[in-house]
Amino acid sequence: MIYVFPTETVYGIGASVWDKEAIKRIFKIKGRPADNPLIVHISRIEHLEEIAWEVPEVAWKLIERYWPGPLTLVLKKHPALPYEVTGGRDTVAVRMPAHPVALLLIEKEGPIAAPSANLSGRPSITTYEHAVEELGDKVDVILKGKTTQGIESTVISLVGRPRLLRPGPITYEELKELLPELVVAKSKEAEAPGMKYPHYQPTHKLYLLTRPDGDFPEVKGAIWRKDIPLPRKLEKVFYYQNERELAQNLYYWIRELDKIGDMVVLGVPEKGLGFSIMNRLKKAAHAILQ
Ligand code: TXA
Ligand code: MG
């Protein structure tokens, strides 16, 4: 059985880690390359013993502080865990989501392997309506619930030297305090195997503007900072007051603007949550304008 379900970050599309056929169907539905592994979602610590192998001391420190929550840990995989879940790797990404609907589903089904619910390459999904638009004719069950973070979990590898593979709601700066040896993985390492593929892209063009006084081509819509005047009148504008609000609404706004045409997004400084947001926007962008 395949479920589309909300988490505190974005919607996921998942199945029991033991149901290899359903897992294969998820790759097919999404159009996801088979070498891009899925995240295993658990609802209780005992599940970890079935999924991971030789969990290091440092993982427990992070788990205690951040689970349930938007932190994914890459660990050695349990020998019994199907390779379909890990894209053929000997490591597995695992997290405990902080969302009552997700936790209830996992309590019923056991550990759930789930990528983000968007079709491969497209922006993630953060509302029930967009989940229905994207997957309504492809899956049987879409569970409803509110996402609060709005961007995907932070991913850290703890196999070898601790590395940040994907920045997210829990910031690099914050993690560095607990884990001083943490480094940002070079993107050319393509360690989070998903990072080498196109990501988060709307159908229309998204221009990422790094300076509010910079010029941008003709567009229909914008995502813009509330206290900065927009230089032109546009058909539809979503305003954010701070980075948290931008993260929470980013994918919803991009998908809504994509319904009318090209868009411009005013970026944010690349620190804290801003670093995670810009990581997504740079990949979503058709062009980055200074
Ligand atoms: O917030 C989230 O993480 C959401 C919700 C649904 O939990 N899920 C999500 O899944 O964003 P997905 O598949 O879109 O992103 C998972 C990322 C990919 O970049 C993938 O390559 C990486 O995690 N990943 C998964 N398993 C890995 C592994 N064994 N080693 C390295 N990276 C891994
Ligand atoms: Mg994704």
Tens digit of each residue's pLDDT (9 = 90 or more) over 100-110: 999 999 999 99
Beta strands 71-77 and 91-95, pairing class = antiparallel
21: its two tokens: 């056929």
Distance 102 CA to ligand 2 centre (A): 17
Q: Tens digits of per-residue pLDDT, 218-276?
A: 999 999 999 999 999 999 999 999 999 999 999 999 999 999 999 999 999 999 999 99
Distance 204 CA to ligand 2 centre (A): 19
pLDDT at 195 over 90: no
Q: Does ligand 1 lie within 6 Å of residue 36's CB atom?
A: yes
pLDDT tier at 197 (50, 70, 90 boundaries)?
confident
Q: Does ligand 1 lie within 6 Å of residue 113's CB atom?
A: no
Q: What count of other Cβ atoms lies within 10 Å of the Cβ of residue 249?
A: 18
Average pLDDT over residues 156-164: 96
pLDDT tier at 188 (50, 70, 90 boundaries)?
low
Q: State the chain's mean pLDDT as an integer.
A: 96
Mutate to test the pocket of ligand 1, among 9, 39, 189 (most ligand atoms within 8 A of CB): 39
10: its two tokens: 């974005």
206-289 classified as CATH 3.40.50.11030? yes
Q: Does ligand 1 lie within 6 Å of residue 192's CB atom?
A: yes
pLDDT at 44 over 70: yes
Is this structure's pTM higher than 0.75?
A: yes
Say which CATH class 3-184 falls into.
alpha beta
Distance 124 CA to ligand 2 centre (A): 6
pLDDT at 189 over 70: no
**Cα atoms in the 13 Å half-sphere on the side-chain side of 159:** 19
Integer Cα distance of 123 and 131 in angstroms: 11
The residue whose CA has the least distance to atom 31 of ligand 1 is: 192
Average pLDDT over residues 116-124: 97
Looking at the CA of residue 11, tell me the nearest atom of ligand 1: 6
Q: Where are the domains of the chain?
A: 3-184, 206-289
